[in-house]
Amino acid sequence: MKRDLVGLSENEYDVLVIGAGIHGAWIALDASLRGLSVAIVDKGDFGSATSSNTMKIIHGGLRYLQQADFYRMRQSIRERSILMGVAPHLVHPLPFLIPTYGHSVYGREVMSLALALNDLIGFDRNRMIKDPKKQIPRGRVISREECLRLFPGVDERGLTGGAIWYDCQMYNSERLLISILRSAEEKGAQVANYVEVVGFLSYGNRIQGVRAIDRLGGERLDIRARVVVNTSGPWVGCVLNLLGCKAKKPKVFLSKAINLVLNRQIIPDYGVGLRSRFKNSNSLINRKARLLFITPWRNRSLIGTVYSPYEGSPDGLNISEEDVKGFVNEINEVYPYASVSLKDISFIHRGLVPVDDRSGSGDIRLAERYRIWDHARGEGIEGLVSVVGVKYTTARAVAKEVTDLVFRKLGKTPPGCLTALTPIYGGCIEDLGEFLSRETGKKVGFLSQEIMRHLIYNYGSKYDQVLKYINDNPDMANTVEGALDTIKAEVVYGIREEMAQKLSDVVFRRTGIGSVGNPGDKALESCALIMARELNWGKERICREIEETKKCFSIGC
């Protein structure tokens, strides 16, 4: 990907997407595959805000049974299968376990019925999956003894057994998003990070593009487009404010969302669910109980999610020590066996998510449905669409609906969507196990099988594009000092081919160096020195980048 701001300002596009989170990325790819000219910009790095805060789970919608929402169940099951198909190296099945108690709503009988319905509704869940290791098995209930074996330390009072079902886990959600954008760029999309929209270009009531500023160089530029799609997440209202009184501001209420990465693994192989009855008088989520999940990830445990009230600008998000302590207390109350302390926390995923406003009934809860606004309806503003997504899992399906709308606004009949059948960049793998066996058996320089597996799981069928930097410089085969499995070639690859502009881009989103916590000064310095050589940084810039990246690991960031 090349950051071509001159090209951005010189061309006119069918559609400009504001915000390169997961929804914006899928829209850019969908529109590009269907033949539209596309530009997508983000005021920060790609996926650096809300989309970076995820439990890494691709849900099949089992919990929608509670509302008998079979449509969303079917949609989630379908999207789960699609993601395994188009990103086989990044999305993998993972078993989940919830303990059962008594004979009521949380009992074995009810859960057995729920699992049977889930399997019935998802009867075709494996129809399009060729890789046998990607098949989603049927759910099942297990005995009390097996539950105790798989879930050590679970509350034994009234325990009758457990329910096991399968969803999927993303090995690297950041690389998934980057790969989607790379696919869009291959199809002609113009992609740029650190480009902030500061105004709109308009003629009468028709939007014709945006005014923007390069947050790195300070230059101003105009980007012209026939349709502008605002997918800026928590900033959707801030972007619309740039229109002044012309645009109706959709009410988007926000909540802080926190997930914790521990420096150890509590339970391997299974994700486990715990019903928490932790009381918090300040909680936005007014429920008697909520479900916390502990999932195995990168030889660590990932725990989430808790929510707390948020007001103010999305730019002011801050996770306090009190927020984290409250989360830790909740974990330890519902699952004392975990015995989590602040010292166990290696990284905090944080973000803002939309919530439904139910102030009339006193019930405020997480938003369940995405929202799409065509501002031509009611407001008379042509050429502008706004989107608020709610689920990482269903972002592709939302993008399809948005792209259909863009075609109609362009006066065209929408052609068929291709994203469900088109592998993303690096996703051309039919059988991951066979591919891993074949490719890791190759002798590539001094790379170990572990490093080869790491590269394949992150870059898929395009891992050889990283290896070419080793051919130019054998030192690129060495791991980054202080990092276990990331080689120097990945850092150079992220800079030259994936538009990494800052040290944090490399540490958090182009590689996995910082995904589970601070890798240490040596790793940060090693990456910074590579970037300095590539981007001509001086000593002052190197120090500033390292300090800014270190702050991202602190609780108050």
Q: What is the pLDDT of residues 375-394, one digit of tens each?
A: 999 789 999 999 999 999 99
Q: Give 486-532 pLDDT, tens digit per residue.
A: 999 999 999 999 999 999 999 999 998 999 999 999 999 999 999 99
pTM of the full structure: 0.95
Last residue of one domain, picked from the residues 377, 394, 409: 409
More confident residue, 363 or 249: 249
Q: Are residues 399 and 484 in the same domain?
A: no
DSSP, collapsed to helix, strand or coil, labels residue 139 as coil
d(CA 127, CA 123): 9
More confident residue, 443 or 311: 311
Q: Are residues 373 and 518 in the same domain?
A: no
Q: Are residues 294 and 438 in the same domain?
A: no
Q: Are residues 162 and 264 in the same domain?
A: yes
Q: Are residues 326 and 337 in the same domain?
A: yes
CATH number, domain containing residue 100 = 3.30.9.10
Mean pLDDT of 269-292: 66
Residue 351 placed within a domain = yes
More confident residue, 78 or 359: 78
Residue 80 placed within a domain = no
Residue 556 placed within a domain = no
Quote the crossing angle between the two packed helices 70-86 and 395-409, to the nearest 10°: 90
Statement: residue 555 has pLDDT above 80: no
pLDDT at 103: 87
pLDDT at 420: 97
pLDDT at 329: 95
Q: Are residues 148 and 258 in the same domain?
A: yes
Residue 278 placed within a domain = yes
More confident residue, 413 or 53: 413
**In 307-345, which positions are buried (b, 16+ CB within 10 angstroms) versus exposed (e)?**
bbebeeebeebebeeebbebbbebbeebbeebebeeebb
pLDDT at 228: 98
Last residue of one domain, picked from the residues 313, 332, 366: 366
Statement: residue 240 has pLDDT above 60: yes
Which pLDDT band, with edges at 50, 70 and 90, does 283 fall under? very low
Q: Are residues 444 and 517 in the same domain?
A: yes
CATH number, domain containing residue 186 = 3.50.50.60
Which pLDDT band, with edges at 50, 70 and 90, does 287 fall under? very low
Among 65-69, 152-156, 404-408, the range scoring the smallest mean pLDDT is: 65-69
Mean pLDDT of 435-448: 87
d(CA 316, CA 324): 17
**Total structural domains within the chain:** 3
Instruction: For residue 289, give every residue at least 6 positions away whose Cβ sits within 8 Å of its Cβ, in sequence order, or none.
Output: 275, 276, 277
Which pLDDT band, with edges at 50, 70 and 90, does 233 fall under? very high
pLDDT at 280: 41
Q: Are residues 126 and 266 in the same domain?
A: yes
Q: How far does Cα 306 stand from its chain's mean position?
A: 17
Residue 56 placed within a domain = no
d(CA 95, CA 272): 9
CATH number, domain containing residue 527 = 1.10.8
Last residue of one domain, picked from the residues 309, 344, 366: 366
Residue 62 placed within a domain = no
Distances 103 to 139, 158, 554 between C-alpha atoms, Å: 19, 10, 44
pLDDT at 279: 45
What is the domain extent for residue 261? 91-170+253-366
pLDDT at 156: 96
pLDDT at 556: 61
Q: Are residues 372 and 317 in the same domain?
A: no
Statement: residue 297 has pLDDT above 50: yes
Mean pLDDT of 74-98: 97
Q: Are residues 133 and 268 in the same domain?
A: yes
pLDDT at 557: 61
pLDDT at 162: 97
With pLDDT > 90 as the criterion, what percentage of the chain qualifies?
82
Q: Are residues 372 and 508 in the same domain?
A: no
Distances 335 to 141, 153, 266, 331, 352 between C-alpha atoms, Å: 21, 7, 11, 6, 26
Task: For tokens 């439904």, name the residue.
Answer: 356
Q: Are residues 362 and 272 in the same domain?
A: yes
Residue 208 placed within a domain = yes
d(CA 263, CA 252): 35
Residue 517 placed within a domain = yes
